[in-house]
Structure 1
Amino acid sequence: MVALPDYISMSAEEYLLWEPTQEQRYEYWDGEVVAMSGGTRNHNRVSLNFFKLLDDALADSFEIYIVDVKVQIEAGQKYFYPDVVVTCDQRDRDPQLIQFPCLIIEVLSPSTEAADRGKKFAKYRQSHTLQEYVLVQVAQPLVEVFRRNQQGQWVLSEYNLNHRLRLESVNVEIAIAHLYRQVQFEPEITENEIDE
């Protein structure tokens, strides 16, 4: 296999034909193809837990996808791979991608957190169908949910291990502890340990 550079330039049409033939996943950012990095065991476990909890609750009324289904944010401009995406829109019939998500979940890692919080969220907010955007930490038990309110503004709510998360976009309640099932958190470093 030939090693590819981290960034490749091509048209959106070329990307949509080329990317499904690749072993690795690539996102599309305004003409540049960006290689997706691999995740950790904790990242994978949290994504899987979230998917399973949603799929168990919603399989009859929503379509839930994990990791390998891309979301078209801006036709011909932006195509992203969220960790979990949910749609119930009848217009979502393209076998390669989701165009009308109601819920997007990103499990954060050090290499993706800045983009997930910044550039990606800025673009996700442009989706008229997206109602909730969830960011999940794996280094510590913390879930941040951005919800679009009736005025169209995004409001942040935070949840820790003892909370229950109500996802209004899909009418499901999840115990945060269930999202972190089988996740091993790294021990926190205290100031005394840093000084030693």
Structure 2
Amino acid sequence: MSNTAANLMSLDDFLLWEREQPERYEYAGGVATMMTGGSLDHSTIASNLWMALRDKLRGGPCRAFRGDTKILANDSVRYPDLSVTCTPVRGADDTVLEPVLVIEVVSPSTEREDRGRKKFDYFRTTSIQQYAIIEQDARRVDLYTRSGDRWTDEIIEGAATLKLASIGAEIGLDLIYEDTELDAIRLREGERRAPAS
């Protein structure tokens, strides 16, 4: 993220101001910060997740939303790469209400924020039951799950399955990383082509 707005503003002022902006901004601690684009792998991972969850949630009460929809988290405004709510929404709304699952695809430029302030905001938002940080440059997911007033952390790697108890869904890492530099088929083909030492 870059291009921080200079003046501190209230959450209400930010929400009014943001509606007039052509770009997307996040808001935390009175400061608006413009969102920047990500890599092709980042976009592919987010798309793979959204398509998989959309299929798994079809016909049920929960809906998955991509990173162009905001959530309110601990008096901050966030645009997670993916969020899921089981609360009814209206198509004209611009905010996902009561998200139960939030997913961020982390890159070197976003890692500090995703593992720092965003994690803090998500943990303090009572509706959120799981927070997943998907590595863009390694086949790894850090999955945080709420258990009462505590959070547990599980690391999922390799070809394992991401179990999203908050919405009753499972997604294999092979599907999450499909068509990226970390696609299992590409990795196997690369191993076959590598010269013997």
TM-score tier (shorter)? 0.7 to 0.9
Aligned position for 2:190: none
Alpha-carbon distance in structure 2 between the residues aligned to 1:41 and 1:27: 21
Q: Normalising by structure 1, what TM-score?
A: 0.85
Is this contact kept in 2: 1:8–1:34, CA < 8 A? no
Aligned position for 1:177: 174
Secondary structure of 1:135's counterpart equals: strand
Indicate yes or no: 2:155 matched with 1:158.
yes
28-37 or 92-101: which moved more?
92-101
Q: Please list every run of at least 4 consecutive aligned residues from structure 1 whose deviation after the TM superposition is greater than 6 angstroms.
A: none
Alpha-carbon distance in structure 1 between the residues aligned to 2:146 and 2:78: 20
Secondary structure of 1:156's counterpart equals: strand
Aligned position for 2:108: 110
Aligned residues: 180
Find the partner of 2:126 among 109, 112, 128.
Answer: 128
Task: Tell me: CA distance 1:20–1:60, structure 2 relative to 1, closer, same or farther (3 Å).
Answer: farther
Q: 5+ residue gaps in structure 1? A: 188-196
Is this contact kept in 1: 2:65–2:84, CA < 8 A? yes
Secondary structure of 1:98's counterpart equals: coil
Alpha-carbon distance in structure 1 between the residues aligned to 2:125 and 2:83: 13
Aligned position for 1:65: 65
Give per-residue Cα distances to partners, 1:11-53, cap 9 Å, x unaligned. Answer: 3223212223322210011221111121000000000000110
Task: Tell me: CA distance 1:112–1:11, structure 2 relative to 1, closer, same or farther (3 Å).
Answer: same
Deviation at 1:73, TM superposition (A): 1.2
Is this contact kept in 2: 1:73–1:99, CA < 8 A? no
Alpha-carbon distance in structure 1 between the residues aligned to 2:103 and 2:47: 11
The one-letter code matched in structure 1 to 2:42 is H
The one-letter code matched in structure 1 to 2:18 is E
Secondary structure of 1:46's counterpart equals: helix
Task: Tell me: CA distance 1:5–1:161, structure 2 relative to 1, closer, same or farther (3 Å).
Answer: closer
Secondary structure of 1:102's counterpart equals: strand
Is this contact kept in 2: 1:131–1:147, CA < 8 A? yes
Deviation at 1:123, TM superposition (A): 1.2
Give per-residue Cα distances to partners, 1:71-104, cap 9 Å, x unaligned. Answer: 1113xx31011000000024x5581212311000
Task: Tell me: CA distance 1:33–1:57, structure 2 relative to 1, closer, same or farther (3 Å).
Answer: same
Alpha-carbon distance in structure 2 between the residues aligned to 1:173 and 1:98: 22
Aligned position for 1:147: 145
Secondary structure of 2:125's counterpart equals: coil
Is this contact kept in 1: 2:4–2:31, CA < 8 A? no
Q: How does 1:85-100 map to 2 (within 5 A)?
A: 85-90=83-88, 95-100=93-98
Q: 5+ residue gaps in structure 2? A: 188-197
Aligned position for 1:36: 35
Alpha-carbon distance in structure 2 between the residues aligned to 1:174 and 1:83: 16
Q: Normalising by structure 2, what TM-score?
A: 0.84
Deviation at 1:5, TM superposition (A): 4.3
RMSD over equivalenced CA pairs, Å: 2.0
Indicate yes or no: 2:20 matched with 1:21.
yes
Task: Tell me: CA distance 1:148–1:60, structure 2 relative to 1, closer, same or farther (3 Å).
Answer: same
